[in-house]
Structure 1
Amino acid sequence: MKIFKRILIILLVIMIAAVIYNYPKLNIIAGYSAKSTASSVFVADRTLEFTNKTDTNFSPINLADDTVNTDEKSVTSSVFGLLTRKAFVREGLGSVLTLEEEDLSKKYLSPKRGIADNITPFPYGNGAQKDTIFNNVDYSKLEETLNVLFDSVNQTRAAVVIYKNQIIAERYADGFTKDSKILGWSMTKSIVSTLFGVLEHQKKINVFDRAPISAWQNDERKEITIHNLLQMNSGLEWDEDYNSISDVSKMLFLERDMTKSQIDKPLIGKPNESWNYSSGTTNLLSGILRNQFKTHQEYLDFWYAELIDKIGMNSMVLEGDLAGNYVGSSYAWATARDWSKLGLLYLYNGNWNGEEMFSKEWVKYATTATPTSNGTYGAQIWLNAGKTYKNVPQNMFSFNGYQGQNVFVLPDQDLVVVRMGLTKNADIDTFLSGIIKSIKQ
């Protein structure tokens, strides 16, 4: 009997130790599930059942149980009953995780939105496009190429191919349509970069100025420029690991003001010589954008009035942190068609239906390779200068997000290709090169 009691005590101690050790991870698991489910249900208008099947069905996130409160517009997620997190939705700002119960009852500003143009044909409006049959496009071959990514291995949700301003191919997985809002994850970073291009075109900012961070002015970090931040080349410490308790996971699931997470980090390299991918840097840039405006309302409105709604990305919802700042690193939802419009804006060098929103020089700047990035990164934009995709032109560039969210811009081919998926390591090289081969130049 004594031996049996000792064994029980030992097992109990082991279980308690395991819970204590894994408690921080449970916080992230429950936080991810609550946040993702709230956005899926209340921003993207999906059901809980569909979300559990398609968005939170992977380990270890599927350990969480989610409860939806439609009256409160909230989701509560629990992991084995040991830890519970809650996310709720605010008007115009998407979902956010609570850190205190009082967060639910606070008042939050909302962005003012433009009126969607549902009459003008795509891409300059949301109306039906004026279909054009191109004699140099092999449509059968194009459809075969889309098959490359629409299988159980590559798991693509949406694909849109635009040639000379016309959708020449479009496909959606079961449960998704042209009206489905899909999270772009880090494609949001390219929106942040574009806004700096807009401000520079308006002569309201110079990206080569030192970053206006007061905490850096008395140490060596004062030499960091906005340009260094845009290129992820500041030399600041940052751990971008989504599989552990890291800087990025703590920022996204535990911080009230995500624009401050990168500020306190020390230099571990030299500016312009130390490329390091950092979502904290992008949210710091969102904070720098905030400081360009006298009021928070102006900041919230600017993103839509001067870019998103102006180019008809009317389905887009930018999500904010508890402090009301847009989470520029990760959280923008939009339809695949609307994501393509950002690519078209770059394809046409910042000119949108006759209005110059930023210059051709900005496009050149944003798509110039960052030193020490091996030709893969510009100003919050991914590049093919290092031939990541061997059968695709080197001047192709893209907006990329977690799990394979992509907008590819191919200037020489007059192409924009959108792929929204669930697998990062899809055969993109075969996909893009197949599309190119389908069009006789």
Structure 2
Amino acid sequence: MHLIKAIFIGLILIGLSLVAGFFIWLAPVGAAFSAKTMCSAIFVDGLSSSRARAEDVLADNNALLSLITTNVDLRNQTISAHAFGFRKRFAIYRPNLGCTLAEDQTHIARLRNSYPVITPITPKPLLTASLPANVDRRALNNILFDAMDEPGIIPERRTRAVVILYQGKVIAERYAEGITAQTPLPGWSMTKSVWNTILGRMRQEGMMPDVHEPVLINEWQAQVNDPRATITYDDLLRMRSGLEFDETYWNPLSDVVQMLFIEPAAAGFAVSKPLEHTPGTTFSYNSGASNILSAAVRNLSGSRTSYLARPTDLLFRPLGMASAVIETDPDGYFIASSFMSATARDWAKIGQLYLQDGVWNGQRLLPEGWVRYSTRPAEDDPNGTYGAHWWLDLPDGRDEDGNPRRDVPELPGDAFFALGHDGQSLTVIPSKELVIVRLGVTRKHGAFNLRNFIAGISNIFPDRPAIPDDMPDGDSAQNNTGSSTD
């Protein structure tokens, strides 16, 4: 009898601990994620509230998030979310900045009165072209059909958009029901590659020092002999800062989850992390590095107004990316690691800019050599899978020892990628003159095989004619820019 009583009391205590843990640690994350995600899906991407909750929040039956109640205020463009009336979080939409988390109504009012007035961008649509006669139309259609298809009764792939550029023109695109060529969609960590591009633009315009110079971070420079003050732009771009950071998405208490959904200052949180390794010596992919680079851009920009205009004035306007928006944290810093939305066609423009060696319509936007720098591994990188905020191989391309796998389809050696959570991808294959965008909400591992998808498309397109050895890398790209946009 005493044993049964002890077991019963133990179970009660465990239950109480789980309930306490939920309200103290898990509910705030769930409420913040639900509010922010629904806000962006509704007010930035233009999805219905029911679809935003069913797909963007609750896809694949997340038990924790199903306990969160959300309320949509269409008139004031805000979302509130809570767990049984507790741990309420808000998200507010603002023009040019998308959605931002807020703690309460006072915070909402302060944010509503604080956003940049930016001259609207004139859209520059991509040209379209017919599929070349030497490309197997049936094979391509089969690949695209498979990408948009759901093999089972319950949706798992949820591909929302596919766009393929060949020689700078749209030759194929597909959209899910309710999604169009005008629908902005989130890229998650594809935002990192865009932030690389913004840094390249700043370098081209003389707004930042060489990438091998130490990053300008006030907290690091203010402390005498702080070893973090030696961290360079290159260290952060190559994910070799040495800073301690937990990039575990399944754990609500991990650094990346707390940074994105709990901490008021994403950049400040990342900047405060201690060193774990000597800067420049150890690769460790983490979103904190990108947000430190966001803080660095803020410090280099002088004023808050100049900083908030950087993505638009330096990148989105020259490329005519009228749909693009990068969202900020509550402190007003761009979340350069994760929170950008754009149409599939506008995402493709980033890839085309890199395929053209940083030249757009005859104008050099990125420094000569920037694309080569961004798409080459560090000199002492044994695996060569990461460049400077661009992936050089897909995650399934290496075994546990870092050796190339032979049981997966081979991709062109010059391919590089921007990759994001939920299966987002931007693929650039210069040797094929291809840019491929795939966006969706794919959370189940193996539901969509990106490598097979990219390999299948690549294999049916011809190789680009060889470039003469005496021709600089950028020349052939410059000759192509006139066909990339209106």
Normalization by structure 1: what TM-score?
0.92
SS at match of 1:274: coil
- Is 1:338 the counterpart of 2:346? The answer is yes
* Partners of 1:74 and 1:89 within 8 A in 2: yes
Shift of 1:216: 2.6
Q: Secondary structure at the match of 2:282?
A: coil
Partner of 1:428: 450
Letter in 2 for 1:394: G
Give the whole-Å Cα distance in 2 for the aligned partners of 1:324 and 1:281: 17
Q: 1:72/1:283 Cα in 2 relative to 1: closer, same or farther (>3 Å)?
A: same
Q: Distance in 2 between matches of 1:36 and 1:376?
A: 30
Give the distance between the partners of 1:374 and 1:96, measured in 2 at CA: 37
* 1:71 aligned residue: 75
Instruction: Answer whether contact 1:158 1:173 (CA < 8 A) is retained.
Output: yes
**More displaced stretch, 241-250 vs 142-151:** 142-151
Give, in whole Å, the separation in 2 of the partners of 1:258 and 1:104. 18
Question: Matched residues in 2 for 1:196 and 1:182: separation?
Answer: 23
- Structure-2 residue corresponding to 1:163: 166
Taking structure 1 as reference, are residues 174 and 219 closer, same or farther at Cα in structure 2, changes over 3 Å only?
same
Tell me, in whole angstroms, the C-alpha distance in 1 between the residues paired with 2:116 and 2:383. Answer: 40
Distance across 1 between alignment mates of 2:217 and 2:139: 52
* Structure 2 counterpart of 1:110, from 112, 116, 119: 116
C-alpha distance in 2 between matches for 1:115 and 1:215: 35
Tell me which residue corresponds to 1:97: 101
In structure 2, the partner of 1:29 is 30
Is the 2:160–2:441 contact (alpha carbons within 8 Å) kept by the matching residues of 1? Answer: yes
Matched with 1:262 is: 270
Q: 1:101 Cα deviation (Å)? A: 3.3
CA distance in 1, matches of 2:131, 2:451: 26
1:378 matches 2:391: no
2: CA distance, partners of 1:396 / 1:265: 33
Q: CA deviation at 1:418?
A: 0.3
Among 459, 462, 465, the alignment partner of 1:440 is: 462
2:422 match: secondary structure: coil
Q: Check conservation: 1:385, 1:394, Cα contact below 8 A.
A: no
Give the structure 2 partner of residue 134 of structure 1: 132
Query: Deviations 1:29-63 (Å, cap 9, x if unpaired)?
Result: 11101110111111111111111222112303233
Aligned pairs, how many? Answer: 431
Instruction: Report the secondary structure of 1:147's partner residue.
Output: helix
TM-fit CA distance, 1:222: 2.2
Q: Distance in 2 between matches of 1:103 and 1:269?
A: 38
Cα distance, 1:113 vs. partner? 3.6
Distance 2:409 2:298 in 1: 40
Normalised to the residue count of structure 2, the TM-score between the two structures is 0.83
Indicate the SS of the match to 1:161. Answer: strand
Change (3 A) 1:436 1:13: closer
Structure 2 match to 1:351: 359
CA pair 373-189 structure 1, distance change in 2 beyond 3 A: farther
2:232 is matched with which residue?
A: 225
The whole-number CA distance in structure 2 between the counterparts of 1:14 and 1:267 is: 36
Shift of 1:86: 1.5
3-state DSSP of counterpart to 1:210: coil
Shift of 1:83: 3.0
Aligned to 1:126: none
* 1:141 partner amino acid: A
CA deviations over 1:379-428 (Å, ceiling 9, x no partner): 11111299556411121001111011111000000000000122264212
> Residue 62 of structure 1 corresponds to which residue in structure 2?
66
- CA distance in 2 between partners of 1:391 and 1:88 (Å): 44
Match of 1:416 in 2: 435
RMSD: 2.3
For 1:241, the aligned partner's letter is T
How far does residue 299 in structure 1 lie from its aligned partner after superposition?
1.0
